[in-house]
Every structure is written in C-alpha cells, then in structure tokens.
Amino acid sequence: MAEKKIGIIMNGVTGRMGTNQHLVRSILAIIEQGGVSYKGDRLVPDPILTGRNEDKLRQLAEEYGVEKYSTDLDSVIADDYYQVFFDASGTPYRAAFLEKAIAAGKHIYCEKPIAESYEESLRVAKLAEEAGVKNGAVQDKLWLPGIRKFLALKEQGFFGKILSVRGEFGYWVFTGHIDDQPAQRPSWNYRSEDGGGMIVDMHCHWRYVIDNLFGNVNSVFCHKATHIPERVDENGKPYPCTADDSAYAMFKTDEDIICQFNSSWNVRVRRDDLLTMQVDGTHGSAIVGLRKCWTQGAASTPKPVWNPDIDSPIDYYDGWSECPDTTTYDNAFKVQWEEFLKHLVDDDHAFPWTLRDAAKGVQLAELSLVSHDKGAWVDVPKD
Ligand SMILES: NC(=O)c1ccc[n+]([C@@H]2O[C@H](COP(=O)([O-])OP(=O)(O)OC[C@H]3O[C@@H](n4cnc5c(N)ncnc54)[C@H](O)[C@@H]3O)[C@@H](O)[C@H]2O)c1
C-alpha cells in the first residue's frame, strides 16, 4: 500500500477538545494504527500544532511526541505542504482563522460553532465553496454508539410512527465557590462576550442530531436562563456569568415529531447518562444514551394504573432490553476525521457534514435566542 502523507495544521489544540478529542484520540490514534486504508493507499496525517503560546505548544508536542509546532501561523499557512487547516480554538476567533486558511487554498475542517452568527457562518461556507476547497465541521454525536443503535432501530421500523422525543442533557458544573470542587469546564463557557452560552454551545448539536434522526427542524420555542449569576474562574477569581447556562426548548420537525430538549449545567444526574433521549413511537420506545440504547416494544409495555397511595407494583426499569454491541464503536471524532480524510483524496467519497450544513446549527441557536426574546414559536426557514 502506498503511503500518502496529509499535512494538517491543527490550530488551537492546546485546549480541552483540541488536545483530547482531535489530537490524541483522532489524529495520533490514526497515525498509531498506521493511517486510514483507502482504495489501496494509506492516508497518514502529518500534523503541525499552531497557537499563540509557545510554551504550551512545546509542552503538548513533547508530551505526545508531535514533531512540529509553531506560533507563526501565517508562515505555516503559506507552506503548500499543509493541505488541511483544522481549528479548535475559541468560537469568537474561528471565522477569521477559516477565512485566512481558505484564502490560502487550504481544505477546512473545524469545531462547532463555525462562527458567532448565522450570517457569518454562511459567509465562511460560501467562501470555502467559491474557493473550491473541501470543507467540514464536527458533528461528533452522529457516531455515538447509542445513536448508531437508535438509527438501526429506526431503519428497521421498530418505532412505528415516532411521536415525540424528550432529550435531557447536562450535569452539575461546579461553580468554583467550594474549595474542593473546582469548575470542570473552562470559564469562557459562562461569558457571552467570549462565545459562551448553553444555546450557542448545544443547539448547534441538537440541530444536526434532530435533522438526521427525527426530520428537519422547522420551528423552535425556547426559554433560556442564567440560573447561577456568579462563578469562579481558572485563577480563583469570581466573575459574573453573562451567558445562559440552561435552555428549555421544543423543536418541531418536518416529520411531525415534537422534540423537547432540556439542556443545563445546573442539574444533578439521576438518569442513565449525561445525554438521554426518550423516543416514543406507536410500536415501541427507546432510551438513547451516549453508548447504550434500551428499548421497550408494544408487547412488553406494562399497564400502569395511577395510585399514589401505594408503592408502585411495577419497576419501570424492568421490561426494557439493552441493544447489544454488534460492532466495535470507535471514537466518534476519529470516525468523522477518517471520513474527512477519505473525502479529501476522493471527490466521490461524500462528506455531507459541510460548513454549510454546520451553519444550520448556528442558525438554530440564533433563532432559539429570538424565540426567548419574543416568548413565541419561531419558524426555521429552509436553506
Ligand atoms: N464537539 C463538541 O462536542 C465540543 C465540545 C466542547 C467544545 N467544543 C468547541 O471547541 C472549541 C474549544 O472549546 P474547548 O472546550 O476546547 O475550550 P478551551 O478553552 O479548552 O480551548 C480553547 C483553545 O483555543 C485556544 N485559543 C483561544 N484563542 C486563540 C487564538 N486567538 N489563537 C489560537 N488559539 C486560541 C486556547 O489557547 C485553547 O487552547 C469551542 O469552539 C467549542 O464550542 C466542541
């Protein structure tokens, strides 16, 4: 097999997502396995890390044995060896980075949200299209084992007509006020001026999840809240929370399915996973978690009778079957990277998770905020 090296600029990867999901569990894991075998070739990523802080870059490169890093992004972008520009830096900076890389003819792959506004997202998507570069954005949830299992059930007609979906997402993010409970997420997430906010963060995900699983979103009703007004940052300094930390939303789809999603950083978990979606259909229901999926078909549905005067005679967790693992599920980010690398070398290998598609996530986040302000349902225009 011929080895094809693919030079990839990895920008802003000293952060949480960049390091863990993209560098270590995707790119380095692909190199470790000897590349991606594709049509007689082995596609082997060759990364260079870029960012602002040389010490952090050196430390990261040394820790994981990455040979190349640089703080001089312009020179790296000017180097034709690198075909791909990947960005996992902060949301407010992404569009400018993408624009610069597109102008240099790089193929683009990046984290979500792809820009701070829908208008800006469409502008960047259009720039990439006009430049004729391949492009895509992370839609990792589509490769979670729980969601793969759901899609198989749906394809087999398990649900009959799907009626509704109730998504519960979130967990308790420590505020930092208690000494031994430092916050486990970066503080910018709670400041809107730095690109933070639950809606901006999670409604991008809910858009492609709902579009792909339950039909295209055609309207939204949303209420946001900032339940915790002050948190403590990475340096132990209290700061005011200017972004929403919770969102209570309903989405309707063109398959006539009502999807209700609660997203919150202020909830303690007593459910099967940090994200669960209960999907109820005429013939069966499922609880879809990150890795697992449980089903209850019509024939095994118990007959509850309302009587709060006695303990329930039914254990409602009984009567659900766990879908078995029927294949090996690789890291979701890595699977999407592998798809992108194949698309890079082969126009016929489709990659529908484009910047234009990702712009729809930003659109939904924006319209969710409009819905909150108006206190009303808002239509989501078709592209
Ligand atoms: N797909 C997902 O599930 C998922 C999950 C979390 C975050 N994200 C997205 O990933 C991005 C990063 O989030 P994170 O949680 O890793 O945050 P983080 O704060 O841990 O990392 C941000 C990184 O960007 C770098 N950075 C900031 N400004 C920069 C600049 N001007 N130039 C170069 N680098 C710069 C920081 O130094 C840091 O390395 C965000 O856009 C976020 O929305 C996606």
130-152: per-residue pLDDT in tens? 999 999 999 999 999 999 999 99
pLDDT, position 382: 86
pLDDT in tens, 230-262: 999 999 999 999 999 999 999 999 999 999 999
**Amino acid 121: pLDDT:** 98
Q: What is the CATH number of the domain that holds 135?
A: 3.40.50.720
One domain, residues 166 and 257: yes
One domain for residues 214 and 130: no
Task: Render 165-218 in DSSP notation, one character per residue.
Answer: EEEEEE-BPP-S-STT---SS-GGGG-GGGT--HHHHHHHHHHHHHHHHH--EE
Q: Last residue of some domain: 139, 167, 190?
A: 139
Tell me which DSSP letter residue 105 carries.
Answer: T
Q: Which of 89, 93, 142, 233 to mutate to test the pocket of ligand 1 (most atoms within 8 A of CB)?
A: 89
Residue 282 lies inside a defined structural domain of this protein: yes
pLDDT bucket at 186, cuts 50 / 70 / 90: very high
Same domain, 76 and 178: no
Same domain, 146 and 63: no
Average pLDDT over the chain reads 97
> Are 11 and 148 within one domain?
no
1 — pLDDT class (breaks 50, 70, 90): confident
Residues 156 and 284 grouped into a single domain? yes
Q: Residue 326 — very low, low, confident or very high, per pLDDT cuts 50/70/90?
A: very high
Residues 70 and 32 in one domain: yes
Is residue 107 included in any domain, yes or no?
yes
Confidence of residue 37 (pLDDT cuts 50, 70, 90): very high
Which helix (H) or strand (E) segment holds residue 46: the answer is strand 41-50
**For the chain, the helix, strand and coil percentages under 3-state DSSP, each to the nearest 5:** 35, 25, 40
Domain shared by 125 and 251, yes or no:
no
Domain edge (last residue) among 86, 117, 139: 139
| Whether the CB of 88 sits within 6 Å of ligand 1 | yes
Tell me the two tokens of residue 208: 């492609």
Q: Which two tokens stand for residue 213?
A: 């699983």
84 assigned to some structural domain: yes
Assess whether 116 and 228 both reside in one domain.
no
The number of the ligand 1 atom at minimal distance from the alpha carbon of 94 is 41
In this predicted structure, the answer to whether residue 286 has a pLDDT above a threshold of 90 is yes
Q: Is the CB of 35 under 6 A from ligand 1?
A: no
368 lines ligand 1 (CB under 6 A): no
Residue 239's pLDDT is 98
Averaged over 217-228, what is the pLDDT? 98
The confidence band for 99, taking pLDDT boundaries of 50, 70 and 90, is very high
- For ligand 1, the distance from its centroid to the CA atom of residue 113, given in whole angstroms, is 10
Q: Does residue 18's CB lie within 6 angstroms of at least one atom of ligand 1?
A: yes
Give the mean pLDDT of 214-218: 98
Mutation to probe ligand 1, out of 16, 114, 233, 333 (largest number of atoms < 8 A from CB) = 16
CA–CA separation, 254 vs 171, rounded Å?
Answer: 30
15 lines ligand 1 (CB under 6 A): yes
pLDDT at 14 > cutoff 90: yes
Q: What is the 3-state secondary structure (H, E, C) of 303-353?
A: CCCCCCCCCCCCCCCCCCEECCCCCCCCCHHHHHHHHHHHHHHCCCCCCCC
CA-53 nearest atom, ligand 1: 37
How many other CB atoms sit within 10 Å of the CB of residue 235? 7
User: The CATH number of the domain where 218 resides is what?
Assistant: 3.30.360.10
Whether 148 and 282 map to the same domain: the answer is yes
Range of the domain at 95: 2-139
- Asked, for residue 249, whether it belongs to a domain, the answer is yes
Q: Does 198 share its domain with 286?
A: yes
Is residue 58 in a domain?
yes
Calculate how far, in angstroms, residue 295's C-alpha sits from the geometric centre of ligand 1.
36
**Residue of 17, 49, 187 to mutate, ligand 1, most atoms within 8 A of C-beta:** 17
SS3 283: coil
